[in-house]
């Protein structure tokens, strides 16, 4: 048996825009993505008898191929033309579940990276990202990580200049949102606020956190049911009043992120939000 433990970082969206619906049922996206220091730990025990399964200690997470980590292992085995039968994937969850922060996709990406090392398959990071495409739209980004523009379904990735040193507060309200339902709502609505993606990329290029903060926006915020939208707006306002340079919902939500240049303000904002919300995290870009 060979074993390996990997970190699986959460991702946030600094911007999220939808350019249109596609004939294949997906949507054409344009998103500025960032990985952050909040991580799951994923341990692979290759050869541990019992088939390919995922264990997390969370009863509501599937153990079989409905878990993205297991789906990634199956996709990897097929792409590599290998025939091993036994893999125990142990996931120590720190990233909130169903939160718009790619926890499941990041676990899947960690499985791909880990199996590449353990089996000596020799895929390049780009090849590994391609293996992840079939597993989920965010998996290719999670394989590569860092600061990137994601286009297409999310699989066309262009690395961007890393964020200058900063602090990102994450706050997840208690409700959960169905990603397909949110896309369907976007399909129905006509007038939409959109992020300035080009402006955000220019701000990143110049290392200008203030200009970046002003351009953070997620098009899904405009199509949320009104009660959820009010709660998201409330968290964004609290973050801005606490000194955030910008705030937006991440992915299909409901996690909200606030961008800070000062750690003391970020810490104070996180402490304040913890009075109301159970899942609040102070992170840095990675
Ligand atoms: O690829 P993934 O399984 O993460 O996508 C979940 C759902 O989100 C898809 O079934 C689809 O309804 C929607 N989606 C989309 N366009 C994308 C990514 C996801 O419509 N680019």
Summarised one tens digit per residue, pLDDT across range 49-89 is 999 999 998 999 999 999 999 999 999 999 999 999 999 99
C-alpha span between 69 and 129 (Å, rounded): 14
**Ligand 1: residues whose CB is within 6 Å?**
26-27, 29, 136-138, 153-154, 179-180, 183
Atom of ligand 1 nearest to the CA of 153: 21
C-alpha span between 235 and 84 (Å, rounded): 47
- Cβ atoms of 168 and 33 within 8 Å: the answer is no
Cα angle, residue 190 at apex, residues 188 and 194 outer, rounded to 5°: 110
The answer to whether the pTM exceeds 0.85 is yes
**Closest residue (by CA) to atom 13 of ligand 1?**
180
C-alpha span between 34 and 162 (Å, rounded): 9
Q: What is the pLDDT of residues 81-119, one digit of tens each?
A: 999 999 999 999 999 999 999 999 999 999 999 999 999
Atom of ligand 1 nearest to the CA of 29: 21
Q: Which residues are catalytic?
A: 11, 138
Question: H or E segment at 205?
Answer: helix 197-205
Residue among 72, 138, 180, 187 whose CB has most ligand 1 atoms within 8 A, to mutate: 180
3-state SS class at 166: coil
- Cβ atoms of 243 and 89 within 8 Å: the answer is no
């Amino acid at each position: 048996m060979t074993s390996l433990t990997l970190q699986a970082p959460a991702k946030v969206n600094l911007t999220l825009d939808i350019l249109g619906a596609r004939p294949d049922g997906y949507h054409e996206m344009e998103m500025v993505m960032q990985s952050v220091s909040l991580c799951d730990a994923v341990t692979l025990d290759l050869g541990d008898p019992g088939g390919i399964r995922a264990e997390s200690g969370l009863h509501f997470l599937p153990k079989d191929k409905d878990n993205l980590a297991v789906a990634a292992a199956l996709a990897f085995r097929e792409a590599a033309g290998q025939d091993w039968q036994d893999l125990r994937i142990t996931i120590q969850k720190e990233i909130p579940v169903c939160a718009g922060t790619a926890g499941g996709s990041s676990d899947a990406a960690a499985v791909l990276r880990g199996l590449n090392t353990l089996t000596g398959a020799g895929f390049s990071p780009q090849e590994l990202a391609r293996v992840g495409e079939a597993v989920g739209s965010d998996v290719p980004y999670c394989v590569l990580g860092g600061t990137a523009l994601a286009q297409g379904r999310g699989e066309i990735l262009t690395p961007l200049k890393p964020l200058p040193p900063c602090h990102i507060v994450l706050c997840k309200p208690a409700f959960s949102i169905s990603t397909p339902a949110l896309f369907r709502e976007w399909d129905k609505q006509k007038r939409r606020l959109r992020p300035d993606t080009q402006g955000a990329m220019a701000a990143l290029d110049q290392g200008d956190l203030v200009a970046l903060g002003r351009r953070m926006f997620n098009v899904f915020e405009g199509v949320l049911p009104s009660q959820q939208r009010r709660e998201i707006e409330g968290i964004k306002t609290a973050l801005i009043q606490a000194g955030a340079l910008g705030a937006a919902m991440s992915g299909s939500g409901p996690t909200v992120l606030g961008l800070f240049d000062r750690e003391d303000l970020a810490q104070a904002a996180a402490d304040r939000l913890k009075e109301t919300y159970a899942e609040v995290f102070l992170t840095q870009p990675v």
